């Protein structure tokens, strides 16, 4: 599927469905046509039965004009057909087979169109979700997002493929059944048609009431999905703290709320369906009673009475189905609104900006009086001024919550820029001027808690580029001091690590992430507390290998440990969102301050 421009707003309401129906609309249109054809075919057999009862088996006089009399004459006349009753029987069977074939093809086309619709919607949703900013995911739970992309998509598919495509057949059956009923007996047709407005009105009222409940049920389903996803992802933490029973009770509570909501919805729907069945039953009863009276009084022939009962049965189902369609529209509307929320969330702008990131300007990265707030209340960073020249190894050290990681988020343009005050430049230009894709590809960032995808170790090392050679992967793994470790595994670098790297230790996961960053071979490397799970000796070896591999390239090393940043060209000391000191390791330990205090605490000096 060709991707839609990420900066473009997605359509809403009916326009959203029209957009998603591209590629599958032809199947649904053909399905509607075949559904209509099946409806027309179904209307033929009651007329055939009526003619057989009145003219062939009965004593009614065959009219001189009309379609039915003409067909009877062409088939040999009343006497000939009376002697060969297999002829109308075969005619009825043939019409039924054609109708069955039409319904089969309609179902097949609907199924193909529905699956194409689902494929397009999921592709669109995933493509959109990929481009939404990181802060958006902090405001929306993963379980709820998954529920919108699966359950809500399935609801829309079922509505479009079942109810919506049957709408033409329903309307056609209603109007044509009423037309033939009026042709048979006007009074009896008015009795049958009087119940249609009642059912439609009840359906509309139900539609208005049930929509709010569907919305609440979908929200609660998202909460249940989020809880399951969190527990499965953090199963080791749950086991480590013995919280299985506690988490089970939380799940039972949320699941009970979700179940109660659906019980309430089912109670309302059961009342609505039974009310509709009651009204339809009354309608059928009145038609049968009054039709029998008319037939006994001579106002209606036996054949026309049978035909009228058949048309009334055809009328009852579409009217009931129309009510269900209106009711199901509520749930589909809720699902469309939930899907539209993702599609119309503001994505990151990947298309606009400069592609040229070259320049001889120094410094390479510069923060000028930068303050930042996540919530708009208190600043996480306050008046930060720092620079990173090309080829420098810069260290940033500070305690927990001092704002170290926020600096890297700002460099990578992963924060909501509305909370930013001040100027951040790259190669002398504001970072917002660059095309986002090209800009981020200049950086390799390793986090304290790296995320490994389900796959082999080598797959995770070449995550940035599938064309990275095996030789380059081995070199990166060796520099990250990972090669010796994986050599003990049966499959070496081809060892399957499972979801989130569950089969690896924390240090092994960090070294895999470091190897992936080195294999990516970018201009700037950001190590965000990336050595925290390594022992002192392994960290020193990895750090020395990295500095040797990077050569003249730039690195920003963030840590709360002195040994990690001691070899940097310049070190910034952060405390409560402010830079309190800067200098080399030797300069910082030579004067009083936070850095010297940390040094003495960590070295026992």
Tell me the pLDDT band of 127, cut-offs 50, 70 and 90: confident
Residue 123 has pLDDT above 80, yes or no: yes
- The whole-number pLDDT of residue 571 equals 92
- pLDDT-above-90 percentage for the chain: 5
Which residues touch 159 (CB under 8 Å, ≥6 apart)?
A: 328, 329, 331, 332, 335
The kind and range of the H/E element at 422 are strand 420-426
Per-residue pLDDT averaged across 38-64, rounded?
77
Tell me the pLDDT band of 496, cut-offs 50, 70 and 90: confident
- The whole-number pLDDT of residue 8 equals 46
- The whole-number pLDDT of residue 368 equals 92
Name the more confident of 370 and 338: 370
Which residues touch 557 (CB under 8 Å, ≥6 apart)?
A: 393, 394, 395, 396, 527, 564, 565, 568
Average confidence score pLDDT of the chain = 81
- The whole-number pLDDT of residue 376 equals 67
Q: For tokens 């190590």, name the residue.
A: 527
Per-residue pLDDT averaged across 259-285, rounded?
82
Go through the domains of the chain in sequence order and give each one's CATH number. Answer: 13-343 (1.20.1560.10), 392-399+432-603 (3.40.50.300)
Name the more confident of 417 and 370: 370
Per-residue pLDDT averaged across 566-572, rounded?
90
Tell me the pLDDT band of 7, cut-offs 50, 70 and 90: very low
Give the C-alpha separation, 318 to 50, whole Å.
22
Per-residue pLDDT averaged across 228-240, rounded?
75
Greatest mean pLDDT among 131-135, 238-242, 567-571 lies in 567-571
Residue 173 has pLDDT above 90, yes or no: no
Q: Cα 184–190–194 angle (5° rounding)?
A: 145
Closest CA to 136 of 352, 395, 348, 440: 348
Tell me the pLDDT band of 17, cut-offs 50, 70 and 90: low
Tell me the pLDDT band of 354, cut-offs 50, 70 and 90: low
Give the C-alpha separation, 551 to 393, whole Å.
10
Orientation angle between helical segments 44-51 and 25-42, nearest 10 degrees: 10
Sign of CA dihedral 208, 212, 217, 222: positive
Give the C-alpha separation, 182 to 189, whole Å.
5
Which residues touch 109 (CB under 8 Å, ≥6 apart)?
A: 27, 28, 30, 31, 34
Which residues touch 94 (CB under 8 Å, ≥6 apart)?
A: none
């Amino acid at each position: 599927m060709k991707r839609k421009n990420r900066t473009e707003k997605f359509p809403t309401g009916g326009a959203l469905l029209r957009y998603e129906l591209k590629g599958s609309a032809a199947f649904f249109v053909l399905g509607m046509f075949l559904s209509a054809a099946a409806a027309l075919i179904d209307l033929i057999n009651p007329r055939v039965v009526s003619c057989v009862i009145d003219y062939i088996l009965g004593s009614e006089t065959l009219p001189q004009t009309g379609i039915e009399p003409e067909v009877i004459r062409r088939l040999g006349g009343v006497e000939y057909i009376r002697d060969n009753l297999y002829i109308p029987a075969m005619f009825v069977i043939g019409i039924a087979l054609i109708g069955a074939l039409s319904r089969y093809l309609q179902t097949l086309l609907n199924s193909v169109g529905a699956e194409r619709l689902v494929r397009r919607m999921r592709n669109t949703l995933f493509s959109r979700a990929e481009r939404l900013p990181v802060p958006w995911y902090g405001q929306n739970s993963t379980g709820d997002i998954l529920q919108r992309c699966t359950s809500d998509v399935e609801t829309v598919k079922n509505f479009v493929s079942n109810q919506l495509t049957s709408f033409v057949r329903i309307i056609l059956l209603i109007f044509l059944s009423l037309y033939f009923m009026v042709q048979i007996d006007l009074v009896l047709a008015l009795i049958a048609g009087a119940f249609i407005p009642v059912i439609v009105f009840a359906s509309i009222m139900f539609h208005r009431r049930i929509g709010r409940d569907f919305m609440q049920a979908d929200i609660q389903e998202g909460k249940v999905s989020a809880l399951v996803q969190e527990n499965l992802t953090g199963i080791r933490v749950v086991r480590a703290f013995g919280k299985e029973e506690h988490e089970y009770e939380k799940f039972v509570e949320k699941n009970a709320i979700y179940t109660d909501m659906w019980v309430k919805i089912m109670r309302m729907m059961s009342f609505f369906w039974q009310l509709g069945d009651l009204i339809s039953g009354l309608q059928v009863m009145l038609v049968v009673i009054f039709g029998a009276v008319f037939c006994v009084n001579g106002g209606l022939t036996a054949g026309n009475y049978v035909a009228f009962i058949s048309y009334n049965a055809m009328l009852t189902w579409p009217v009931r189905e129309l009510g269900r369609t209106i009711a199901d529209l509520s749930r589909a509307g809720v699902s469309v609104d939930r899907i539209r929320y993702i599609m119309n969330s503001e994505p990151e702008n990947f298309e606009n900006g400069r592609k040229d990131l070259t320049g001889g300007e120094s410094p390479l990265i510069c923060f000028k009086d930068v303050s930042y707030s996540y919530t708009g209340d208190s600043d996480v960073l306050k008046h930060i001024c720092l620079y990173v020249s090309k080829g420098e190894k810069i260290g940033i050290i500070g305690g927990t919550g001092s704002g170290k990681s926020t600096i890297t988020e700002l460099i990578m343009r992963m924060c909501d820029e509305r909370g930013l005050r001040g100027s951040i430049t790259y190669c002398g230009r504001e970072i917002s001027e660059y095309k986002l894709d090209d800009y981020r590809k200049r950086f390799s960032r390793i986090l304290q808690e790296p995320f490994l995808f389900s796959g082999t170790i080598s797959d995770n090392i070449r995550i940035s580029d599938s064309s990275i050679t095996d030789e380059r992967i081995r070199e990166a793994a060796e520099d990250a001091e990972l090669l010796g470790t994986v050599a003990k595994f049966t499959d070496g670098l081809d060892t399957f690590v499972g979801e989130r790297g569950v089969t690896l230790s924390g240090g092994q996961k960090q070294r895999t992430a470091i190897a992936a960053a080195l294999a990516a071979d970018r201009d700037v490397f950001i190590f965000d507390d990336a050595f925290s799970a390594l022992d002192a000796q392994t960290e020193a070896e990895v750090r020395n290998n990295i500095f040797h591999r990077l050569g003249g390239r730039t690195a920003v090393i963030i840590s709360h440990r002195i040994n990690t940043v001691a070899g940097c060209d310049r070190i910034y000391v952060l405390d409560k969102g402010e830079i309190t000191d800067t200098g080399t390791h030797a300069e910082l330990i030579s004067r009083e301050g936070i850095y010297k205090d940390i040094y003495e605490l960590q070295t026992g000096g």
